Amino acid sequence: MNQVRNTPLKLPFLKDNVLLTIDTSGSGLNRRGYRLAQGEAPIKETLAASLIRLANWKGDTPLIDPFCGSGTIAIEACLIAQNIAPGFNREFVSEQWNIMPANIYDDYRDEADKMADYDKEIEVYASDIDPEMVEIAKRNAEEVGLSDIIKFSVKDVNTLTIDTEEPVALIGNPPYGERIGDREEVEEMYRYIGKLMKQHPFLSTYILTSNKEFEYLVDRKATKRRKLFNGYIECTYYQYWGKKTERKTIEN
């Protein structure tokens, strides 16, 4: 075992059986290595990435997260759009093992680095009503090298405006309103999202929430609904597809 020193061993039991396993990663794989700080109920990086993938957002339209919290959705969106490998910034316990081939992790990182498209131009806007959370999000974005790409601001979602007639994606994990004191405020927020969708037919909206009244509050049935879990909370990912711009035909 001296070849895998400082490595946690795990002993899961199932009835009369026990399995000895060696932890090769250290911290969970959902931890990318860029989150220096977070709020009370942060969304996991893996779930945030899933929301981006399910929205089929690849960086070809502007993206807005008006409930950015510690910036996880905006950061994961940039990583996906620029094809930056998940966990590129983190380290793994097994890197210290003597039995691992020399430089194998560096070789894989070099390969991933060559596949990334750091010069791809993308528009990502992230805002939150809490100034402290916006500062945390900025620090996290700086840690992963995205502070020049993501445009952060302190903003109440009820003042959000969209000044374009082009396609835009809004992806967010808003408060769910599970506490009685927050319910009225959250419902007002959801109604405003519904108004935005009516005002901007080219806006595609993707919202993760456990609130069963979401479609009623935005006054619109979702194009698609997906059941997901945010930790132990059962949620629905409401997907509203905006209109696509018509392609211009060239007459000969």
Residues 13 and 37 in one domain: no
Confidence grade of residue 25 (pLDDT, cut at 50, 70, 90) = low
Confidence grade of residue 249 (pLDDT, cut at 50, 70, 90) = very low
Cα(225)–Cα(214) distance, integer angstroms:
11
pTM, to two decimals:
0.81
Residues 132 and 55 in one domain: yes
Cβ-contact 81, 120 below 8 angstroms: yes
Whether residue 251 lies inside any domain: the answer is no
Q: What pLDDT, on the 0 to 100 scale, is given for residue 37? A: 63
Residues 164 and 94 in one domain: no
Alpha helix (H) residue ranges in the chain: 45-54, 72-81, 104-115, 131-143, 180-199, 214-218
Beta bridge partners of 235: 228
Distance, CA of 107 to chain centre: 27
Answer yes or no: is pLDDT of 19 > 60.
yes
Residues 9 and 20 in one domain: yes
The model's pLDDT over 175-196, given as tens digits with 9 standing for 90+, comes to 886 654 588 899 999 999 999 9
The closest alpha carbon to 146, from 76, 90, 49, 86, belongs to 76
Residue 189, CA atoms < 13 Å, CB-side half-sphere:
21
Residues 39 and 101 in one domain: no
Q: How many domains is the chain partitioned into structurally?
A: 2
The model's pLDDT over 124-178, given as tens digits with 9 standing for 90+, comes to 999 999 999 999 999 999 988 898 999 999 999 999 999 888 999 999 999 886 6
Residues 126 and 61 in one domain: yes
Cα(84)–Cα(78) distance, integer angstroms:
8
- Beta-strand relationship, 203-209 and 233-240: antiparallel
For the residues 48-59, what does the mean pLDDT come to?
95
The range of the structural domain enclosing residue 205 comes to 32-82+117-240
The model's pLDDT over 69-123, given as tens digits with 9 standing for 90+, comes to 999 999 999 999 999 877 667 667 666 777 777 787 777 777 767 888 888 999 9
Q: What pLDDT, on the 0 to 100 scale, is given for residue 42? A: 77
Cβ-contact 93, 105 below 8 angstroms: no
